Structure 1
Amino acid sequence: MAATTAMLITLGFVERVTVRDEDDPSLVLHAEYALGETGGVMIGSVRHDGSALDSVGGAAIYVVVPTEREVDRLYREIRELGHAIVRPVATQSHGGREFAFRDHDGNSWGVGSYRGV
């Protein structure tokens, strides 16, 4: 979770709450990270209990940032953290600028300035 936390903070998320397992404080039962006034993500540790929460690497997340300059800055920082770049930073034909990477757990992340329609 430490690598994930560092990545979220790099992307501009702010920790709101983290609930840890009382018996094993290394396990995060629930954590909330805010992005701006309305964005956010909720995460937790793999449960290792055979449930649907017992796997990693299957999520795809797109984070919208306010400017193309911010996209470029985050691209440099994510590379410095050692994440695998899936799609280098580029201006898109549909508008905005974006890049994609995989986190250390194998989840796919897109970061861009395109806000959708």
Structure 2
Amino acid sequence: MADMPPAPQVWPSLRAHDAKRLIQFLVEAFGFREVVVFEEGDHVAHAQLAWPEGGGVMLSSAREAGLEDEWPLKPGTFGAYAVTDRVDEVYRRARAAGAHIEVEPRTTDYGAREFIARDTEGNYWSFGDYRGAPVPGR
């Protein structure tokens, strides 16, 4: 993993009805890299996916109704912005893999190139080249 950027210190996380399918989709459609997946039968207890340009997400299977859940996120309610210098390349890859494109690639009024897609669970993913404003004091 020497070619990977340092691990992030804040991890967006999401739940999925079919975590195995979602992992496969995120890898194929958007280009995430599978780092680790801990499975218990059909249930994914924990998965970590890396974004090649830095950062990543963690995800797991949603718990069955009635089970105690200390992290009760609803599948399909996640949204994330992933920074990439390859907006059009990621868009073509996502479209070819069957991602539902919500917003075609565009240039915003503040000069960013971006598009928005949904994954197999209905989560929203925006991919763009805007890196955010500089953090004061850094």
Q: Which residue of 1 aligns with 2:100?
A: 84
The answer (yes or no) to whether the contact 2:49–2:57 under 8 Å persists in 1 is: yes
Structure 1 residue matching 2:64: 3-state secondary structure: coil
Does the CA-based 8 Å contact 1:16-1:32 persist in structure 2?
yes
- CA distance in 2 between counterparts of 1:60 and 1:54 reads 12
Normalising by the residue count of structure 1, what TM-score does the alignment of the two structures yield?
Answer: 0.82
- Point out which structure has higher relative CO (alpha carbons under 8 A, 6+ apart): 2
- The counterpart of 1:16, out of the listed 17, 31, 35, is 35
**Partner Cα distance (1:114, 1:37) in 2:** 13
SS in 2 for 1:44: strand
Contact 1:19–1:31 (CA<8 Å) still a contact in 2? yes
SS at match of 1:30: strand
SS in structure 1 at match of 2:98? coil
Percent of aligned positions that are identical? 37
What CA distance in whole angstroms lies between the structure 1 residues aligned with 2:52 and 2:99?
Answer: 23
- The alignment's TM-score, normalised by the length of structure 2, stands at 0.71
Q: Aligned residue pairs: how many?
A: 111
Which residue in 1 is equivalent to 2:117? 101
Structure 1 unaligned runs (5+)?
Answer: none
Distance 1:12 1:45 in 2: 21
Partners of 1:12 and 1:103 lie apart in 2 by 13
Equivalent in 43, 48, 52 of residue 32 of structure 1: 48
Q: Contact between 1:12 and 1:35, CA under 8 Å: does it hold in 2? A: yes
Q: 1:45 aligns with which of 53, 56, 61?
A: 61
Preserved contact between residue 35 and residue 49 of structure 2 (Cα < 8 Å) = yes
